[in-house]
Each structure stands twice: as C-alpha cells, then as structure tokens.
Chains A and B, each alone.
Chain A
Amino acid sequence: MKYSDTPYFKVGRASDLTGSDRLVYRLLEIFPGFLSWGTIIGTILLSFFAPIVAAYFIIAFDLYWFLKTIYLSVHLRHNWRRIRYNLALDWQDMLSKLKYEHIFHLVILPYHTESLEVVEHSVSALASVNYDKKKIALVLAREEKAGDKSKEIAETIKHRYGSIFGDFLITAHPAGLPGEMAGKGSNISYATEMARKEILDKKSLLYEDVIVSAFDVDTVPYKDYFLTLTWHFLTAPDPHSVSFQPVPFYNNNIWHAPAFSRVVAGSSTFWQMMQQERPEKLATFSSHSVSFKSLYEVGYWQKNMVSEDSRIYWNLFLARNGNYGVLPLSYPVSMDANLAPTLWQTAKNVYKQNRRWTWGVENLPYILFGFIKNKKVPFLTKLKTSIVQIEGFWSLATNPIMIFLLGWLPVVIGGDKFNKTILSYNLPFLTRNIMIIAMLGLVLSAVIFISFLPERPKNRSKYAKLSMVFQWVLIPFTITIFGAFPGLEAQTRLMLGKYMGFWVTPKHRKN
C-alpha cells in the first residue's frame, strides 16, 4: 500500500485518527510546546536553584546564537548576490536554448474579501510578465460565501484581462463541504481540480507538462518569474520530485507600512533567503510552484488544516518516501507587508499573521507521525529532517526570549550569594556585548533591504529612506513580540488542543 493511500496521509489533527494512532499523534502535538515551555521554565528554575550553572548555560547559548548569526549572515549575503544575479540574467535567452513550448502554467489566485485594487494589482502584473501569456491559464479562485461583491470583482477582472491569458477561469468554492476547513487549502484544491477538468483535460495537456503556481492574492511576480521557473523546471534532474520556491519580498506597500511591520516583513524575507541556501531545511512557504503531476498524485493541497502551503511539501515528501525536495529559485515575488488603517490594528495583524505562520508547527506531528508510519523513508533522512524541524520550531519560540529576556535572570533571581560572584557582575556585560556585536550584522540587513526597495512613491519624503535603515534597531523587539510570542502561542494552542482556524490577513493599501 502506498503511503498516500493510507487513511492518515491527509490527517489534519489527532481527532481525525482513532485508537493508538490518535494517542501517538496527540502526544506529538504536545511535544513542541512541551519542549519550548520546558526550555523557558527550565531556564527560570535553573536561574533560581543553580544560578552559576544557568549563567554558564546563558553564556554558551549567547555564543552559540552569535555564531549562528554569523553562519546565517553568510547564507543571506550569498543569496542576496544570487538574487541580484538572477534578476540581471537574460532568462529569455537562457530558455531559448531549451525546448519549452510544451510547458503550460496554471496560476491559482485565491481570494476572499480582498478589494478589486488588490486583485487587479496582481493580475495586471501577471498580464505583463515576460512569458507567452497564451501558455498561462489564470484561475481566479473565489469563495462562494464571499458573495456578490467577490463575484463582481472576478467578472471585472475577467472583462479587463481575460483575453490576455490562454485561459481564464473563475471558480467559486462552496462553503461547508464535508471534511474541509474554511481556508486557502480547500479553495485552491477545489480550483485546481476545476481547472483540470475545464482546462487541462479539455486541451488534452499532459499533466507532467503543467506547472501550478499557487499564489496568495497579493502576489506580484517579478517580470521573468515564469521564464525562471520554466528554466528551472526543465533543467531540474527530476522536476516532479521538487517544489519550486521563490523568495517573498513584501514590497507592494512597503513605503506605507510602519517601521515594525517593515522589519517583520524584511526579517521574513531574510529568513526565506537564508533557507534558499539551505534547501534541506526549506519547505514550501506562501506562494510557490509545483508540477501538476505531483499535485494530482497526492490529491492537491490538504483541505482540513491551516498551513497548506508547507503541508503540500510534506505530503509529497512522505508520499515519495523522503525522495522529494524544494528547489530554491532565488528569484522574487512581491507581496504585501502588513498594513491596516491604524498602527494598533497593524500591530495586531502582524501578530496574527505570524501566529498563523508559526502555526506551521502543526506540520511537526504530521512529519514525525509519518516517519513512524512510513518505513520506506531512510532512517538517516528521518533523523536529519526531524532534528532540523524540531530545532526550527524550538528556536523560533524560545531563542529570542532566552537572548533578550532571560539573559539577566540569574542576576535577578539567583540570590545574594550568586550576586557576590564575579560571574554575576560579568554576565550582563558579556550578554550585552555579544548582542551588540551580533547587532552589527544588522548593517548587512539594512543594506540588503534597501537594495530591494521599489522606487520611492512621490508622496513619501526622501527622509523615509533613512527610516528604512534605522528601523533595524527594532529587531530585538520584533523577533520577540512578533516572532517568539506568536510562535509560543501557536505551540501552546497545539499542545492544549486549541486548534487554530485560517485567519485571512487583511490587505490594505494606502494611496
């Protein structure tokens, strides 16, 4: 029996299972939260009962974090160079050396209550990419429950852009289908199946020649995205054993977003850039592309969970017994940074969006359970993948808290006896100095961030660019408040079985 045929292949949560499987899956759901809370509580207890040991641990941890920062900066810098190289490359010329006329692109653009302006911005960008648009089918995947306004938007877009693309399909995902959770996964799966019937099959296209790009509705591909994607698809050793991941830039509205939102958006881009140089740690995220053949084999994206963008990767990874990867494109697509009418609302949205992203921790029990069940995945692959994933979620939720909040704890709660030691006097200085040196790396962040900025709108002061540099001092706050805290909340919810639903990030544009 193939793993993709098992009843637990598309499990969303423990309650979808029965018997011992359910218990094991539930324990695996508890595990990440238990580990993160255990680390934080353990550090607090250690600071109280054995402050000297805690101080040693904190110094070693600070050093580890500092060296990790250097390591990641090397990756970031290399990817920066690679993206700039790729942006300057003549992809049309590169592709012209290959036979690519048979390749067909299916672009899925799901939306819910987003405005015409947001949808049109993405569609008009798609309409102006450097690629034969007749080889692109655009599927506007709307939610039926979004009502007439959403339908009007789809019709308006079709009227304005329908003739540009080879095919233009509007789908309306019905609400409340059995076994589905309201969210992007169920919508794009429905839309892709409709596109198969209405476009691919009617045109008798070979599934292996079709590349699906599942975009968030605010995704604006850079001009050569489809040329780049097609070239990588055709030159990959096995294009059906990899997903294709662009780098998300949050540039659409970056000049109007407040500083903390820009820093969070920039940090997210940097993280993806670093991961592009470490593909073994990369899973698909947000807007991504994948061969239709692979998608069809596993029945598209999961419909019963939130993080469908990364789950599809793990579905394929387990279905192919570990023989599946992500091919980093090192080529950008642009998306929206969080922006709401008020600063407070923006802050809330940034927090909620990061909580949804870090809810990707729901993949961890899925992966570990899959490794228990699928004996065909090599042990070493299981071990390496498990360590990478566990460390990833653990460090996201705990490291900023340990670095920025718990570094001084032994001095505060370690007692007078500890406070009379040289160690207690040196601990805050050492921690502070390591952090200051590590923060020098932010200069690189500022340079990279500025190098990718779109042109400054006329209504923005020329000093606005200065704030794009100085904003990076907010990093200790943003990675704690909008990184670790939502990450910890997501893990706690999973641990307690308080499952999250899909939260659509509101898209707001300022003119």
Chain B
Amino acid sequence: MYSLSSKKRLWYRISLAVIFVIAAPLLILYASGYRLDDAFKLASTGGIYISAPQSGVEIYVDNELIRKTSAFQKNAFVQNLKPADYEIRVTKEDYQEWSKILSVFPETVTEAHSFLLRKEPVLVEVRSLVSAETDGDRATSTATTSIKQIKNPEYDIAIKLFEPIKTSTLKKATSTDIEKVSRKLSVLRDGDILRVTWLGNMDDIPGYFCRNEICKEEIIINPNSKIKHFDFFPGREDLIIMSLENGIYVSEIDDRSKQNVQKIVEGGGYDFRILEGDQIYIKKARQIFVLNQA
C-alpha cells in the first residue's frame, strides 16, 4: 500500500486553501453582524443584550418571547436585528414589569439591564426588643428556662443609620450639597432632580449614556417629587433608590426611552438607609423594616 500521493495531497491543500479564502471573510462578516437581506444584499445588522436579575423571567422583543431565564442563563442576546427601534419587555409573575424602547445600530449590541421589584414588598420588621430564652437556676437540680425581652442590636444599628448627619461631617452646603459617588458615577441632587455624570474614561462610558457612538455627559432623574434621600440600589450602579414624599422608589439612570421607575413601598412617611451597600432598611415612624430582596 502506497503513501498518500503528492498529487492527492496537493489537491487537498488546494481545496482547503480555497475553503479558507472563501470562508474566512464570510465568517468575519458574519461575526461582525453582516447578513443577507430579503433582496440577497449584504446588510449590516445589530443586536440587543438584555440582562435580568432573576431566573424565571420572560424577555420579549417586540412582543415575541425570546427567552425565559434560568438559574444559569439570566440574559438574552438577540442578533440579526435590522437597525430600528425595538420594544423590550421583561416580566415575571408578582413582579413589576420593566420595558424599554431600544434603538439597534449596525454592528453594535445595544445593552440594557432590566430590574424587577415585587409588586408587594416583603418587609421584615426589626423589633427593638427580642425574646431570648435564658437558663434557670443552675444550682438547683431541676433546670428551668425563662423568656426575657432583650434589646435587639440590629435595631440599634439600623436606627443609627437614620440619625441626622452631624454638621461637622457635612461637606460645604450648597444647593447641590449631597453627592453619591459609586466608582465612576456621581449623582448630585440639584433641587428636586438628580444629575448623574460619568467620571471615568469616555471609552468605558456605560451604553445608556450613548446612542450609537454619540454620548452625552449627564443624565437627569426627575421624580417630580421632593427627594428626601437617595442612594445607589444595592449591587447596581445603574439604579437609584429614592425616598420621596409618597414612598420609596427605584429609578434606572438609563433614559434612552422613558426611565423605568418601580415602587418599593407607597405612602407618606417612609425613609430608607442602606447598610454596607447591601441591606435596605426602611423606617416609618419608630418602626424599622428590612427589605427582603429575594
């Protein structure tokens, strides 16, 4: 039996080289978003990437269900979209709906990060006193237990969060005196609006500041109400939690279409504080609650 003939090998080489020459540009064009349109012309398309914070969330693009998220896949990437505006809807039973109209541009992925808050919040009260079992008289042969009311240290910590900041720790007081900075975003209160600006490199600016490649410097959040307190929503730099006169709300910074605003609690007299960038404590009068975000 002979070895592979040089003629056969040459034929293989030429065939594979031809495949390479044809396939390489096609693959690059495909990867860059180019597709054949209805008229068999090469057209540039774009894509949308939506992230969802939970599993079991349904993501719709123009009312077409694209994905139901799972524990392992909490986002959806849709490509082959002609440049146009698309309505995105993200829903889950018992949660408030998130929707947005996003523009798709050629060769670009338009990203958006949805958020879903419960329609009815789960508030767990933090009591000032808690019951504790204590052992009885150990000296006696019969062990007894008694229940005592003791001070709840969590309540003390939480209540301190709501104490007014001492004057000495305040920065210079101006109309835009309160500032929240999270890494590269700054949020300034200017009267009853919040001004969000990007502090970082313009190459790294979040997509919601931009339409295609044109980016703005500032986004305004206007809740149409007096803002008593605000902060970044725990774990998210694109969401602002605000206590307003009529409740506590979360607004996204993204204003590419109408900003999604979802309520946490509705009604007057609520305020909130965030402990260690994680737990949301809500206060009404002397009552303190912790928001269960699960």
Could you list which residues of chain A lie within 8 angstroms of chain B, going by C-beta atoms?
Answer: 55-56, 59-60, 63-64, 67-68, 70-71, 74-75, 78-79, 81-82, 85-86, 276-279, 328, 330, 415-417, 420-427, 430
Contacts and interface: CB of A to CB of B under 8 A. Distances in A.
A328 B3 CA distance: 9
A149 B158 CA distance: 80
A75 B9 CA distance: 9
Contacts of B32: 421-423, 426
A63 B23 CA distance: 8
B49 A75 contact: no
Contact of A422 (B12, B31, B205): B31
Contacts of B205: 416
A178 B230 CA distance: 83
Nearest to B25: A60
Contact of B19 (A67, A81, A421, A422): A67
A60 B27 CA distance: 8
B20 A420 contact: no
B204 A425 contact: no
15 contacts: A56-B28, A59-B24, A63-B20, A63-B27, A74-B4, A416-B205, A420-B108, A420-B109, A422-B45, A422-B107, A424-B109, A425-B109, A427-B31, A430-B27, A430-B31
Contacts of A330: 3
A59 B31 contact: yes
Nearest to A85: B1
A71 B13 contact: yes
B20 A64 contact: yes
Nearest to A431: B31
Contact of B203 (A64, A82, A416, A423): A416
A417 B3 CA distance: 52
A416 B3 CA distance: 52
Given A330-B3, A422-B45, A422-B47, 14 more contacts: A56-B28, A67-B19, A82-B1, A277-B4, A278-B9, A279-B3, A416-B203, A416-B204, A420-B109, A421-B32, A421-B107, A421-B108, A422-B108, A427-B31
B207 interface: yes
Contacts of B16: 67-68, 70-71
A74 B3 CA distance: 12
Interface in B103-156: 107-109, 111
B4 A78 contact: yes
Nearest to B81: A422
Nearest to A67: B16
A415 B107 CA distance: 16
Given A71-B12, A82-B1, A422-B45, A417 B203 contact: yes
Contacts of B28: 56, 59-60
A64 to B, nearest CB: 6
Nearest to B17: A67
Of residues A67, A75, A330, which shows the largest number of chain B Cβ atoms within 10 Å of its Cβ?
Answer: A67
B24 A423 contact: no
Interface in B254-282: none
A23 B33 CA distance: 51
What is the interface residue range for chain B against chain A? 20 to 34
A70 B20 CA distance: 12
A135 B47 CA distance: 75
A430 B27 CA distance: 9
A423 B31 contact: yes
7 smallest beta-carbon distances between A and B, as pairs: A422-B33, A426-B31, A85-B1, A416-B204, A67-B16, A277-B4, A60-B24
B4 A55 contact: no
A81 B1 contact: yes
B251 to A, nearest CB: 23
Nearest to B77: A425
Contacts of B20: 63-64, 67
Interface in B15-61: 16, 19-20, 23-24, 27-28, 30-33, 45-47, 49
B79 interface: yes
Contacts of A68: 16
B104 to A, nearest CB: 10
B4 A423 contact: no
A78 B1 CA distance: 10
Contacts of B23: 63
B49 A425 contact: yes
Contact of B46 (A71, A85, A422, A430): A422
A70 B49 CA distance: 35
A71 B20 CA distance: 12
B198 to A, nearest CB: 11
Nearest to A86: B1
A130 B33 CA distance: 64
B69 to A, nearest CB: 18
A59 B204 CA distance: 25
Contacts of B111: 420
A416 B4 CA distance: 50
Contacts of B49: 425
Interface string B206-223: 010000000000000000
A4 to B, nearest CB: 29
Contacts of A82: 1, 3
Contacts of B1: 81-82, 85-86
A422 B16 CA distance: 28
Contacts of B204: 415-417
Nearest to A327: B3
A55 B3 contact: no
Nearest to B3: A277
B190 to A, nearest CB: 27
Q: Choose among A78, A86, A424 the residue with the greatest number of B CB atoms under 10 Å from its CB.
A: A78
A63 B24 contact: yes
A75 B4 contact: yes
Contacts of B30: 426
Contacts of A55: 31
A115 B124 CA distance: 75
B18 to A, nearest CB: 10
Nearest to A278: B9
Contact of A425 (B3, B19, B27, B79): B79
Nearest to B33: A422
B259 to A, nearest CB: 21
A493 B33 CA distance: 44
A353 B108 CA distance: 48
